Amino acid sequence: MAGSSADYIPHHLTHLTVGEGFWSVHADSLIMTAILGIAFLWMFGAAARKATTGVPSRFQAFVELVVEFVDGQIKEVFHGDRSFLAPLALTIFVLVIFMNTMDLIPIDIPGLIASGAGAHYWRVLPTADANTTFAMSITVLMLVIIYSFKAKGAGGYMHELFTSPFGGHPLLWLPNFVLNIVELLSKPVSLAMRLFGNMYAGELVFMLIALLGFAWAGALHDGNIFGFALGFIGQVLMTAAWGIFHVLIILLQAFIFMVLTVVYISMAHEHH
């Protein structure tokens, strides 16, 4: 963890990579996602198993709040059978919240724990890794395509792809198809990049504020008490302010990912 300030940020931006070239895998993102997924299943499973119809405990009331919130959002948009979509939306919402909350852990603590376990690099925030967000959004894309086939049939979906916005004339087949493919591909790209951009920028601002630590450590070493106090108090205040703002961003981005997933799947499901 010691080192110059110029190495601090690139060191904290490196993933723990396993493998070479195309087959390299970011082991830290995978392991964090697995841990948080198991934590989510365990928490909500425990609430479901202990659920009573009498006076609920506070934890059960909280889980019911989350489930009803997600269900309310789905009911407004999707008018079909919710038995698959509602658990999917709940999973996306709570898992993305859990993953994003890893950003609030102070930056050097995961490094301490990981180097105790022998890993040189460890990035705790899975959603600041573009691979994680694209994995989720490509899954949503595949669900959109599957629901389109299910609702319209193979022939109907192909017909709609080639004749949809402009009309049925054979000269218009190519423009229709290009437009439909662009619309289809822009959905997962925008979903993934929105979540990745928000989380990566947030994490980077935390690291930039942490660079102030080098400044006040240097001032303390030189005996400059005023500089030390200014740097220390400034760092604490700025980290607190950005952390409080980031809590809002975390919840908002998870909510947007969930609502857009539901909207895209319900748009694929409607007949004409």
Partner 1 sequence: MEHIALIQAYTALALGIIIGLGAIGACIGIGIMGSKFLESAARQPELIPTLQGRMFLLVGLIDAAFLIGVAIAMFFAFANPLLARFS
Tell me which residues touch partner 1 (CB under 8 A): 9-10, 13, 190, 193-194, 196-198, 200-201, 204, 252-253, 255-256, 259
Q: How far is the CB of 155 from partner 1 (least distance, A)?
A: 34
Whichever of 173 and 255 has its CB closer to partner 1, that residue is 255
Nearest-angstrom CA–CA distance, 98 and 37: 8
Rounded to a whole number of angstroms, the distance between the first and last alpha carbons of the chain is 60
| Region for 252 from its dihedrals, namely left if φ exceeds 0, alpha if ψ lies in -120 to 50, beta otherwise | alpha
Nearest-angstrom CA–CA distance, 35 and 83: 26
Q: How far is the CB of 252 from partner 1 (least distance, A)?
A: 5
User: Contacts for 249-256 with beta carbons within 8 Å, 24 or more apart?
Assistant: 249/198, 249/202, 250/97, 250/100, 250/101, 250/103, 250/104, 251/97, 253/96, 253/100, 253/194, 253/195, 253/198, 253/199, 254/92, 254/93, 254/94, 254/96, 254/97, 254/100, 255/93, 256/194
Whichever of 47 and 258 has its CB closer to partner 1, that residue is 258
CB atoms within 10 A of CB 26: 21
Whichever of 161 and 256 has its CB closer to partner 1, that residue is 256
Whichever of 151 and 238 has its CB closer to partner 1, that residue is 238
Whichever of 31 and 204 has its CB closer to partner 1, that residue is 204
Q: How far is the CB of 34 from partner 1 (least distance, A)?
A: 25
Backbone angles phi, psi at 253, to 5 degrees: -65, -35
Token representation of residue 250 = 């975390």
Rg, the chain, Cα only: 23
Q: How far is the CB of 256 from partner 1 (least distance, A)?
A: 4
Active site residues: 190, 194, 198
How many residues appear in the chain? 272
166 CA to centre of own chain: 36
Q: How far is the CB of 2 from partner 1 (least distance, A)?
A: 20
